[in-house]
Structures are given as structure tokens and as C-alpha cells.
Structure 1
Amino acid sequence: MKILKDILYKTGIVHVEGSTNVAIQNIVFDSRAVKKDSLFVAMRGTQVDGHKYIAKAIELGARAIICEETPENLKDGVTFVLVKNTAEALAQAASNFYDEPSKDLKLVGVTGTNGKTTTTTLMYDLCTALDKKAGLISTVRIKIGKHEIPATHTTPDPVTINRILRDMVDHGCKYAFMEVSSHGLHQKRVHALKFSGGVFTNITHDHLDYHKTFDDYILAKKILFDILPQDAFALVNIDDRHGDTMLHHTKAEKKSFALKKPSDYKARIMEQQLNGTLIRINEKEFWTKLIGDFNAYNMAAVFGVAMELGFDELQTLTALSTLNAVEGRFQYVRSPKGLIGIVDYAHTPDALKNVLETINGIRTGNETVYCLVGCGGDRDASKRPVMAKIATQLADKAILTSDNPRTEDPEAILRDMEKGVEAQNSGKRLTITDRREAIRTACSLASEGDIILVAGKGHEKYQDVNGVKHPFDDLAELNNAFTEFKK
């Protein structure tokens, strides 16, 4: 329980009607979650305007309302707080309600199109290996020390974020690593958090269904670096042409990592096999179980963060060599008949290209590479033909299949994808709508030593069809097919 006047600190108040000396039990922005003595924040979303539900919130027991527009009829006993921006006010109020937990942690945010989950998870795993208590907020999982809770969004809402960070502090965590999505930045979900560091992995074609233009997408990512304080570090991939953009106007200390250009944390792949990679970072070599240029970038970022946080260099490199691949990120399995399976979350053109180029760089040339890939429904449709083009260019056999069609017709999505297949590669393409059947088909066609990449869903344990999430696990389906076709 908190007093309203303490919750309202720095929320951008324009005017107040009623007393601020009242007790508040919780903060909500969904009127359905209101209970007695709630503070209800009326948010203007892309689909719903919370101002329409102020009366319902009061009826359910809301004690105070934060809004950008006060209703005509003010109810006695309810405090109305008019603010400039309810999204920013919600984030600040949530931080205040939980006693500004980000100030009690070394909080590092990671943004970029690809690599956020791997980088944040490896940071958490590194801390665990070094006996440093840490927390994690990622697409795949949320960890508070060793305790795990389910993740529902890449970047949760501000109330959830601050509640989790407070739990981390209360459980003795000193560090926290957090994926920061472009949606989360644009919607002010991390407004009012104090970051000790920010990391930029890369930026490629994605989420244009939301941001509309690539420039808007870049500017959304840049918000993280714009809000970093002077005592933080800003660590960016300088090989990405937008790395420098992220650093414009940041108050934080500017740092870089790269594989190609001179940088503060320079990585180089010395040797690569399907079971791991020998990497040199700042002239120090170590072996990692992770594979691919993209993971070399991730490792350079993780090493850079560790150094900026003051970790011991030798201990860090030793611990990095023990870490495993993140679930659904170039996850490697082998079948009884000698097939090699790789499950990867690659759901953007650049990510798919990186994974297939990595496989082609390691293969002997005698095996067949199968690539199963689809595209999500109700998302940026312009990348569909591009994904199919990349799959049929870089794999020996490409099977176009359903991903998460959501409310779209899976067949229509696949027709969009097929438009990208070049005439000379049309013979390399199969289209099988049913994802389970597509995986079975690849396994039935493959011979010993062949490589099957199942791309797009990675760690997800469901397939979203018409708003219903049906159980579906790419790795489990692949293993089941391996067992079925083991001879």
C-alpha cells in the first residue's frame, strides 16, 4: 500500500481534483483488473481508449484516476489526476509504487532486431556461472535468481516490469538483464527505469506493420540510448551501419563491439564446427558451444557488458566457454540415423540468411540442407516473399509451411511467400501447409548427414491459429519425426 501523493511524483501532473492523501492498493490500466482502492490509469492504445472505461473502474472500486482528459461528471471521493501523457505517467507511477527498484540494480537493457534473447540470457547465465545473483526479463523466460516465471511479452508492461525488478532486489539480485523491444520503447514501458547500460545488437527489416517506416523503427530503438544517464554505458555493434546512429545525443559512455571494424571489444572467429566455435576477443581465445557469426557478435556484446560492469576478464572468458546455446536459438540435435536438426527462432530475412550462411559455411558439401520456414499472420507481409527467396537461394531444399497464421488464411500467407521464389530455384521448393507434416516430410526425405533447419518459432510452444494457441513445439516435433524415421 502506498499514499497517492508519493506515487504521483514526477508523473507530469497538470491538475488534480480531490485528495492525494489517500491509500492506494495497486496500479492498473485494464479496468477489468480494478479492485477496491486501485489507481486506474486511462491509457490511449492503438485499439482501445482507457478513458472510455473510467466509469467502470470507479464502479469496481478505483480510488484514483490518472487521465489525459477528465470526465464531465466527477465522482465524490475519487481523485482525478490530469497528466500530459498517461503512458509516461503509468511508467513513473509504477516505479514510484515499487520504490524505484531499477536504482537498486545494475540494469542492462538490450535492443535490436536479432540477438536480444541470446545476449540477455547469456549475460544472466554468465552471472550465474560466476556466482553473481542476477535476474532476467526475456522473450523466453523471466528469472529472479534461480526462480523462473513465464514470459508473455518481450518487454512487459511498466507495472509488471517494476514488480519483477522489486522482487529481484528483495531476493538479493545485484544485476538484471532485460530485452527492450521497439514496441516497449515506443509505448514508454521502460520510461522512468534507471539503466546502468544499454546494448544495441543490430537492426534489420521487422515490425513495419507497427512502426510503418524503417526510420520510425530505428528511432524507436534509439530511445533506449537517449534515456541512458551519464553514468551508464552505451555498447553498440559498430559493424551495423546504424550503430553510430544509436550513439547520437546519448549522455552515456560510448563503447563498441564488432567482428569487422576496429572497436573496444573486437571479436574474430578462428575456427568453427557444428559443435562449437573458437573465438578471439581482444586477443584472448576461448572455445564456445555457440555457432555462427551472429553468436560471435552476441559473445562480444556479453564480454563487453561484463567488462563494463567490472567483471574479471579471465573469469569471464572461462565462464563463457561453459555456456550452452539458448533455447530455440541454433539449437542442435542429432537423430538415430545421423540426421542433424537445428531449431532456430529466425523469423526475419536477415536472421534466416545468417543461419543458412552459417550452416553453409560449416557443411562439407556432400549433405543436403533442408530449410523449413513460414511467416506469421497479421504481421508485416512485405517480408514474406523475401523469406522464401532466401530459403530457396541458400538451402538445397526449402519447405514453405505455416508459422503462426493468427487470423489470416495460412494458404494466403504461403502464396505471398511463393511470389519470392526465383524461377531457377522453383524446383527446390515444396509447400506443405501443415507444419507437423512439413517436419515429417523433411525427415523422411533426408539421409545420414543431412541438415534440417526448422526456422521461425524457436522456443515457442504453441501455434497461434485464429486466436487459439494450439500446443506445438518445433524441437519436440523434430525429435518425434527423428524417432519415426530412424532407419
Structure 2
Amino acid sequence: MINLKDILYKVGIEAVKGSTDVVIGGIHFDSRKVGESDVFVAIRGTVSDGHEFIAKAVGQGAIAVVCETFPDEIAPGVTYIQVKDTNSALAFIGANYYGNPSQHLKLVGITGTNGKTTVASLLYQLFRKAGFKSGLISTVKIMVDDLEHKATHTTPDPLTINRYMAEMVEAGVDYCFMEVSSHGIHQKRTDALQFAGGVFTNLSHDHLDYHDTFAEYRDVKKSFFDHLPVSAFALSNVDDKNGVVMLQNTKARKLTYALKTYADYKAQILESQLSGLLLKINDNEVWTRLIGTFNAYNLLAIFGTAVELGLEKLEVLRLLSELESVSGRFQFIISDNKVTAIVDYAHTPDALENVLNTINDIRTKNEQLITIVGCGGDRDRTKRPVMAHIASSMSDKAILTSDNPRTEDPDDIIAEMEKGVEAQNQRKTIAITDRKQAIKVACQLAASGDIILIAGKGHETYQEINGVRHDFDDMAVVKELLEQLKK
């Protein structure tokens, strides 16, 4: 049995109406899920305001309401708690309710525009290989040691985060690696978590549909490091111009990594092939199956994090050589007629440019590179022409198609992308709205030795059209189509 007053520790309470000495059931911020003796937290969201549903929650049996402003009607027998910020309150209430599980884990948060999933997932993989029970909270999936759960958000809500972390503690997990998105930071989802470390990967154009300016986006990321405790470490990529900014006000131990500049953790690419990378990391050579300069940065972040968490350097290098790529991150197959198909999650201009640079560095230039790319609907529109410009200028052929159009007309999205295609690239760029048809045409155009890049969706196994998710897996589709063309 949990008492209401016990879950209010560290919550910034401004006023209370009613008693906090009551036994509670569950906690919800979705009024539809509220039942007898539950606590309802009224969140002001981007779509709706939870304060409008307080009466509904009370009618369904809520014993307590946490809100920023008291409702006009105060129901007898219900406790109302006024706080300054219900998002932050939910973070602390959730942590308290589940026994503050992050305090019993060595939790590392990874933030940045690109690379979060790869760094978090491969740290989880590495620590498991090192013999530790580990946890993962990522865009792709949530892992409680070897038990997998489906992920719905990059950084879940505080109740979900703490529920899974409580499961991790129960399972004897030692380390947890977590993607920390700008949305998650801004909405205070990580406020009550105790981090042992934070990692900054890079910062580029993304989420400007949510953040008003790039400066706001950067400062939200920075605030994660500002709030790290003195006991934690902050590891930042200082080849990125924002890397030093992330460390400016942190109380954590400041550490850096880089390929181009002086840093605590330094790497040099000795060989880059489709089969992998030969790196020199802090004067030690290591061969890894991961591909491309962007993965050299990811591996360096992983190396630095593992060493800061206490693993022996040579053991970490050995484990780096065993790591396997993350689903939908530069995954590739080579067909019987020697066509290479690469599937990558690259859905930002910077990520797409990185992947295309990697391919262009590795290829012989005797083959053609065909890039298939789309942009998501109901998301940052400013990057659409930029994505098309990059694809058309860095490829031999570019096919503009649908990503997840959501509630937008896919043809309208493609029309906005086409504005970024320069005159000299228009003849080698075509638009095919249907994504499967776009992949089919690319397969038909490809001759032996050619490379097809399918960008934007990566690990996703669905396509969202008009609010409905349809089964769609880029890797499965291209495998099937290349197999059909062989016959």
C-alpha cells in the first residue's frame, strides 16, 4: 500500500486542498485510464490540456488530483495538490511511486541529434558481452536484461521510464543506457532520474516543428548536462561546435572525445571499407564491423563511456570488435547479382549527408548510387528541400517518395522536397509517391555492383498514412524485390 504523501517527496507543492494521508492506487496523466483511488496528474500537452479532464477523472474515482490551477469545482473526499509544473511533478511522483529505481542503477543518458540509438544500443550490447546485467531504453526497443519490450517514444513518459527501471532493479540489472530526446528533456520526463553519466553525440537541424529556433533546441539539450550531479561524468563530442557548449555549466566531470581535435578520447580512421573500420583509439588499433565516419564517433563515445564506468581499456577494445550494427542503422545486404542495398534511419539532413559521405568514401565510383528518400508528415517542414538537395546532389540517381505522411498529402510533401533539387540535378531525380514502387524502380534501375540507399525509416516496420499504421519494412521489401528480379 502506498500513501499519497509518500509520492510527493521533492514535488514543488504550492497549495493543498484535502488530506495527503490517504492510500492510493495507480497514477495516470490520461483521464481515460483513471480508476478507483487513482491519482490524476493534469498535464498541459501540445494537443490538449489535462486540466479540462479533471472532473472526468474525479467522476471515474480519482482520489487525488495534481494540477497547476485548482478547478472551480472541488469534489468532497478528493485531495487537490497545486504545483508550479505538472510535467516536473509527474517525473518526481513517478520516481517516488516506483521506489526511485534510477538510484539503484548506473544510468547513462545519451543525447544529440544523431547517434543516440546506436550509442545506447551498443553500450547495452557491450556491457552484456562483458557479463553485466544491463538495461536499454531506446527508440527501437526497451530491454530489461534479456527481456524485450516494444518502444513507443524515444524517451518515454516518466511513469513508463520508472516502471521499466523498477523491473530492471528487480531483475538485478547493473547498468542502464537511455536515449534522452529534446522532447523528453523539455517535458521534464527525466527530471527525477539520477544519472551516472551523460553523453553528447552531435547537434544538427531537427525538431524545429517543436522547438521555435535552433538555439532553443541546443539549449534544451544543454540543460540535460546542466542538471547532471557532481558524481556523474559528462562526455561530449568536441568536433561538434556545440560540444563545448554542452559542458559549460555542468557540475559533472567534464570529458571530451573527437576525431579531429585534441580530446580525452581520440580516434583515427586507418581503414574504411564496407566490411568495417580499422580505428586507432588512444594509440590502440581495433577492427570493428561498423561502417563509416559517423560510427567512428559512436564507437569512440562507447569506448569513453565504458572506461568511465570502470571497464578495463583493452577489454573494451576487444568488445568493440565484437559489436554488431543496430537494426536499421546502415544495415545492408548484397543480392546474388551483386547489388548492395543499404537501409538507414537517416531522417535529418546531417544524418543523410553522413551516410552518403560514408558510401561515397567506400565506393569505387564505377557503380551508380541510387538514393530513395522521403520526409515525414506533420513534422519539421523546413528540412524537406534540404533533404532532397542532399540526396540529389550526392547520388547518381535520387527517388523522392513517401516516408510516414501521417495526416499530410504525400504528394504535397514531395512537392516541398522538390524545391531543393537544383536545375543540374533535376534530370537524375524522380518522384514516386508509393514507397514500395519507389524501391521496386530502384531495384530495376540497379545493375551489378550498384548501391541502393533507402533512407529515413530504418528500423520502423510500419508506414503511417492518415493516422493508420500499415506493415512496411524497408529491408524486407528490398530483399523481396531483389529476389523477384533474380528470377
Q: Per-residue displacement from partner, 1:74-127 (whole Å, max 9, x unpaired)?
A: 111111111111111110011111111000000000000000000000000001
Cα deviation for residue 433 of structure 1 reads 0.7
Match of 1:17 in 2: 17
Matches within 5 A, 1:368-447: 368-447=368-447
1:402 counterpart SS class: coil
- Could you tell me which runs of 5 or more consecutive residues in structure 1 were left unpaired when the two chains were aligned: none
Find the aligned partners of 2:6 and 2:430 in 1 and give their Cα distance: 61
Cα deviation for residue 220 of structure 1 reads 1.0
Match of 2:84 in 1: 84
Match of 1:187 in 2: 187
1:40 maps onto 2:40 in alignment:
yes
1:199 counterpart SS class: strand
1:16 counterpart SS class: strand
Cα deviation for residue 430 of structure 1 reads 1.2
Cα deviation for residue 425 of structure 1 reads 1.1
1:204 maps onto 2:213 in alignment:
no
1:376 counterpart SS class: coil
Instruction: Read off the aligned partner of 1:322 and give its amino acid letter.
Output: E
1:278 counterpart SS class: strand
Match of 1:217 in 2: 217
Cα deviation for residue 243 of structure 1 reads 0.5
Find the aligned partners of 1:288 and 1:164 in 2 and give their Cα distance: 31
1:96 maps onto 2:96 in alignment:
yes
Matches within 5 A, 1:354-369: 354-369=354-369
Match of 1:462 in 2: 462
Find the aligned partners of 1:257 and 1:2 in 2 and give their Cα distance: 45
Q: Per-residue displacement from partner, 1:134-192 (whole Å, max 9, x unpaired)?
A: 00000001000000000000000000001111110110001000000000000001011
Find the aligned partners of 1:346 and 1:33 in 2 and give their Cα distance: 36
1:262 counterpart SS class: coil
2:382 counterpart SS class: helix
Cα deviation for residue 73 of structure 1 reads 2.1
Cα deviation for residue 16 of structure 1 reads 1.1
Find the aligned partners of 2:442 and 2:73 in 1 and give their Cα distance: 64
Q: Per-residue displacement from partner, 1:310-338 (whole Å, max 9, x unpaired)?
A: 00111111111011110000001111211
Find the aligned partners of 1:15 and 1:50 in 2 and give their Cα distance: 19
Match of 2:281 in 1: 281
Q: Per-residue displacement from partner, 1:360-390 (whole Å, max 9, x unpaired)?
A: 0000111111100001111111111111111
Find the aligned partners of 2:73 and 2:410 in 1 and give their Cα distance: 48
Q: Per-residue displacement from partner, 1:334-365 (whole Å, max 9, x unpaired)?
A: 11211101000000111000100100000011
Match of 2:257 in 1: 257
Alignment TM-score, normalising by the size of structure 2: 0.99
- Could you tell me which runs of 5 or more consecutive residues in structure 2 were left unpaired when the two chains were aligned: none
Matches within 5 A, 1:25-174: 25-174=25-174
Instruction: Read off the aligned partner of 1:406 and give its amino acid letter.
Output: R
RMSD of equivalent CA atoms? 0.7
Match of 1:244 in 2: 244
Instruction: Read off the aligned partner of 1:75 and give its amino acid letter.
Output: A
Find the aligned partners of 1:78 and 1:438 in 2 and give their Cα distance: 57
Cα deviation for residue 205 of structure 1 reads 0.3
2:205 counterpart SS class: coil
Cα deviation for residue 72 of structure 1 reads 2.1
Out of 193-202 and 18-27, give the one that drifted further: 18-27
Match of 1:2 in 2: 2
Find the aligned partners of 1:53 and 1:410 in 2 and give their Cα distance: 34
1:208 counterpart SS class: coil
Find the aligned partners of 1:479 and 1:223 in 2 and give their Cα distance: 43
Find the aligned partners of 2:2 and 2:239 in 1 and give their Cα distance: 47
How many percent identity over aligned positions?
59
Instruction: Read off the aligned partner of 2:73 and give its amino acid letter.
Output: N
Instruction: Read off the aligned partner of 1:233 and give its amino acid letter.
Output: F
Find the aligned partners of 1:486 and 1:202 in 2 and give their Cα distance: 41
1:236 counterpart SS class: strand
What is the count of residue pairs matched by the alignment? 487
Instruction: Read off the aligned partner of 2:336 and give its amino acid letter.
Output: P
Find the aligned partners of 1:478 and 1:220 in 2 and give their Cα distance: 38
Q: Per-residue displacement from partner, 1:264-290 (whole Å, max 9, x unpaired)?
A: 110111101101110111011111110
Q: Per-residue displacement from partner, 1:236-288 (whole Å, max 9, x unpaired)?
A: 00000001111111000000111101101101111011011101110111111
